[in-house]
Structure 1
């Protein structure tokens, strides 16, 4: 009992401290989980009429995007299918800006220049990751808020765990015909119990992005005690005797021939003369863990062996865990059913601070029980009188 009292105290105060953060993170996560589908219907500039002809060369699509941005260098191009516009992306940290330029891949004509800060789902994502605060502040608050929330989940499961068979009969379902206070209690406990096992994965994977020690711990566990490698630079031969600025076109054409059935492709454009071209092929839509990463010399088009994060079939268990982090976080690791589970779990997680606060507030407002009358000697028999019973026998206590 003393052990549970400690966990109860932790669950209460950690929950009160992190409640607002948890609500924002959870509700924005639930909304953002449907970004791929909703964007398809609300952003017509993403679409093109498919044609029975090859795409324009990568250099032509890049040039169209960069011209629309006043000559700024693009850092990546995304291809999402034959009926989708190519997306030329531009990003700068200082001063910060993030733009998507949508280009028709058959004609190299610009369809839309989009400031990501003006995009609804980017606004939602900023709330999920930074609480709409400056990034350096919001990132820290979200990281520690998620850590506290994970502890709240653990203490909540411990407190919920039924002590006996009679308790187990009522612990797995919501009593709909009970009082409003009891229904709220069940919504918090029962729904919270079921959602915790799913939300815990979202919290843990979120912590991997927030804390270096968590990322290292994940790799250490799945690698059998090895340290997670940092960014491994893959460089082009800057001293190559022949430098072909259009070799990226041949690289992408050969890549398409190797992965003709991929659901999407991305090309990370070299930032300088010594950087490599990184091309990725995604086998299925809305999943990223099983992509193949290939590296090429930007001057010669020669393939460079991947030191880390190469082909998925060659990945170690630890590398697969790193790759799966995002897909586990959003539930897409299990396809559409997994995304649905994570969506409903996120909605329940958003409700937990509210129902938990109502439970706590109801207990604070609960009236103190009337004091028991002092036993007096019966005037007739001289024997002690029985105390008055203020609670009907067999009535269950409801918080």
Structure 2
């Protein structure tokens, strides 16, 4: 007689089943879109030649000149800023269109020539990101749904590990827990794909879930930061402000700020001040392919003095604590970029496994349900018609 499972195991198994059924389709969508987005930079570089320009032995044009060139396309919409890319990359000016939304203008930073105008909402990877982040629903609706599903996914990983854990570590159980029996029937192979692949992907899948929750819930982001930094309070990202009492008629202040930072090697974005109290914003990223070393600086548009703002990104990466460094790496860890292309490949395959788990899990549940239904069918109904007729005469 089989030993009855403990109450803890029964509750754990019940939670794993029903939480999986509830969140399954969302986990599949989020995982598949994550797979695709992992190689966004690499695929975009291959398919979008307007992102590149030939290097020239002369300085880039200042922001005001590129702003004027972009304004011809932007029309009545103010140009928001200019992004100077890494070596060999096109500059990007941007504006917000009432009908099309955020629009990017790719430009040659040496000549101001316009290479391409792109409506961001129509970009393939933007569409993928919208699905990943909010299921293509309005953000106030979709984003909380994805956040809750991600939290459930973490619970499923933990409950799945409890279900996977062998009662006895004998050879048969080890083989069942660590190996896929490829020569078995479809049901057994499906079970092994769920059980074994789920175990091997567990650690990285937890990393994906935890790093994803940083964007999902403010309370989690603050708690995560507090834990990593040994009790420091989370400093929210905010823009600085310009002192309107010092208003002065200064021509092209963004060019003056650009002159102080254009010696830096890397990606530099200058965001123009639109309102009287707005600062001139500078985002600097010394490395290509990652974002954890980014810094945000803000300058008073009238005095050109540095003003506070930028949260944890206001300080140079090298000057932060270990916990703050890890927190700033969150995006790059999430997409695998922290380990370069091998890291992205790893995250791709783990995301693919995560997408498969609800599908294989559903198939396991469906198979058991059909088996239970078959067991409940009366023996008389399981007989062939000729046998039923013969049985009826007895």
State TM-score, norm by structure 1: 0.85
Unaligned 5+ segments in structure 2 are: 379-394
Flag as ranges the 4+ runs of structure 1 deviating above 6 A: none
Residue number in structure 2 paired with 1:378:
none
Asked whether 1:115 is paired with 2:119, we answer: yes
Residue number in structure 2 paired with 1:228:
234
Residue number in structure 2 paired with 1:140:
144
User: How many positions carry a matched residue from both structures?
Assistant: 367
Return the offset for 1:306: 5.7
CA distance in 2, matches of 1:12, 1:338: 31
Residue number in structure 1 paired with 2:129:
125
Residue number in structure 1 paired with 2:381:
none
Unaligned 5+ segments in structure 1 are: 372-399
Residue number in structure 2 paired with 1:216:
222
Residue number in structure 2 paired with 1:165:
169
Out of 288, 291, 305, the residue aligned to residue 291 of structure 2 is 288
CA distance in 2, matches of 1:216, 1:305: 20
Range with bigger deviation, 279-288 or 124-133: 279-288
CA distance in 2, matches of 1:163, 1:231: 49
Return the offset for 1:112: 1.7
Return the offset for 1:368: 3.0
Out of 151, 154, 165, the residue aligned to residue 150 of structure 1 is 154
Query: 1:159-205: per-residue Cα shift (whole Å, max 9, x none)?
Result: 11222222234312212122221111111111111112112112112
Residue number in structure 1 paired with 2:254:
248
Query: 1:35-85: per-residue Cα shift (whole Å, max 9, x none)?
Result: 111111222222222211111111111222233111322334322223221
Out of 110, 114, 118, the residue aligned to residue 106 of structure 1 is 110
CA distance in 1, matches of 2:230, 2:208: 23
Out of 53, 58, 63, the residue aligned to residue 58 of structure 1 is 63
Q: CA RMSD in A?
A: 2.3
Query: 1:372-383 to 2 correspondence within 5 Å?
Result: none
Residue number in structure 2 paired with 1:87:
92
Query: 1:168-187 to 2 correspondence within 5 Å?
Result: 168-187=174-193
Residue number in structure 1 paired with 2:392:
none
Matched residue of 1:284: which SS? coil
Return the offset for 1:220: 1.8
CA distance in 2, matches of 1:154, 1:268: 44
Higher helix share goes to which structure?
Answer: 2
Partners of 2:239 and 2:309 within 8 A in 1 = no
Range with bigger deviation, 348-357 or 64-73: 64-73
Asked whether 1:189 is paired with 2:195, we answer: yes
Out of 368, 378, 385, the residue aligned to residue 375 of structure 2 is 368
Matched residue of 1:113: which SS? strand
Residue number in structure 2 paired with 1:278:
281
State TM-score, norm by structure 2: 0.86
